[in-house]
């Protein structure tokens, strides 16, 4: 469950950044992609 919480918090932070700036840099997109992949392995 910890990995899910971490992924959710990370996604939430990036989502807030997107809302504030109106765009999502490629490096944050990559982070989201990695975290999404990790989320699939959560029990």
30-41 pLDDT, tens digit per residue, is: 555 555 544 454
pLDDT band at residue 29 under the 50/70/90 scheme:
low
Cα separation of 17 and 2, whole Å?
Answer: 23
**pTM, entire model:** 0.17
Q: What angle do CA 35, 21, 2 make, to 5 degrees?
A: 25
CB 43 within 8 A of CB 4: no
- For residue 41, what pLDDT is reported? 46
Inform me whether the pLDDT recorded for 2 exceeds 50: no
**Sequence spans of domains, the chain:** 2-39
pLDDT band at residue 4 under the 50/70/90 scheme:
very low
Q: What is the mean pLDDT of residues 22-28?
A: 54
Q: What is the 3-state secondary structure (H, E, C) of 1-43?
A: CHHHHHHHHHHHHHHHHHHHHCCCCHHHHHHHHHHHHHHCCCC
């Amino acid at each position: 469950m910890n990995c899910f919480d971490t992924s959710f918090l990370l996604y939430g932070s990036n989502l807030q950044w997107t809302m504030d700036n109106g765009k999502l840099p490629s490096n944050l997109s990559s982070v989201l992609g990695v975290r999404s992949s990790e989320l699939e392995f959560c029990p």
